[in-house]
Amino acid sequence: MAWEMGVAQGYRDLLVKVHDLAVANGWTVERWIQEPEGDDELILSTNGGSEQEFFTVGLKTDYSVTHERYNLKVMSSLQYSFGDSFETQPQQTELFYFYLWQHDMPYLISLDKDHIKIACQVSVTTHCTYLGNIRSYASLGHWPRRNGCWGEGTSANANWASQGDSYSNFLKLSNYAGQIMWIDNHYFRPALVHPSMYTYGLLHSDNGNNAKRHWMIPLSLVDGSLTSDGGRGMLGEFIGCFFISGANTSTWSIITSFDGERQFLAIQNIYRTSNVDFMAWELK
């Protein structure tokens, strides 16, 4: 994977950072629009880590000066159409929102040819999105494609300071702001993320972070008993993302492994700070 940390001069500059890092690491630009009034749009395509796939990820500015709303629409698609708008690309996910602002904000972009994930610190809140494939531990010929998109909400009228169950990152799927492709060639909304949406007692205590030594569990996407058809089971793993206990943890802080060879960035679930509201992204 490749990654970059820095400070973006607002949500529009963040698109430039994503564009530059993605192009430098094997993604292809299908559409790159920068308008003086602020209507910017980026659609990138990749052949995946297998080099046998094709899908796109997209980000587009969505703002209102009057309502102090400076967001990015996000989506992913299995096709690209030059003649179609961002909102009507063929075989795309629904449109979700990544809630940001127009001021300076620290950012992390982490990507490989399978996915792009972005996190930003906006005032005292932390925001993120995950676009593209998850890791399915299977070859293309034996498992469905795992292309998807995870934002933070479905409301176009919200902003970075919005709170409530309608606003959450992919650590907790409480807001329907994420979809993944299934074997029937349709996107659907999985029900659970393991272990952050499970009620293990250990996860709700500070035992996972004794003396600031964090244990970490890979974040896995699960379609379980909350679905009407009984669920599709374990779907795969969010690449480079780990659940950590929130005890003795501060968002946007660097965690170093005990042997000093690996580093991770701690990310809280927007404004939430309980023991089950943190994940860590590996910096590699």
More confident residue, 197 or 31: 31
CB 235 within 8 A of CB 134: yes
CB 280 within 8 A of CB 242: yes
- pLDDT at position 227, please? 47
The residue with tokens 């979809």 is 179
Q: How far is CA 34 from CA 8, 13, 81, 84, in A?
A: 16, 10, 19, 17
Number of structural domains, the chain? 1
Closest listed residue to residue 27, CA positions, set 111, 107, 88:
111
Q: Above pLDDT 70, what percent of the chain?
A: 90
The CA radius of gyration of the chain, in Å to the nearest whole number, is: 18
- Residue 257 pLDDT > 90: no
Confidence of residue 226 (pLDDT cuts 50, 70, 90): very low
**What value does the mean pLDDT of the chain take?**
90
- pLDDT at position 210, please? 52
Confidence of residue 103 (pLDDT cuts 50, 70, 90): very high
- Residue 107 pLDDT > 50: yes
Instruction: Please count the CA atoms within 13 angstroms of the CA of 245 that sit on its side-chain side.
Output: 18
- pLDDT at position 259, please? 82
- Residue 209 pLDDT > 60: no
Confidence of residue 199 (pLDDT cuts 50, 70, 90): low
- pLDDT at position 206, please? 55
Confidence of residue 118 (pLDDT cuts 50, 70, 90): very high
Cα–Cα distance between 76 and 147 in angstroms, integer? Answer: 7
**Angle, CA of 169, 174 and 177, to the nearest 5°:** 55
Query: What residues make up the domain containing 265?
Result: 2-282
Kindly state the average pLDDT of the residues 214-230.
Answer: 73
- pLDDT at position 140, please? 76
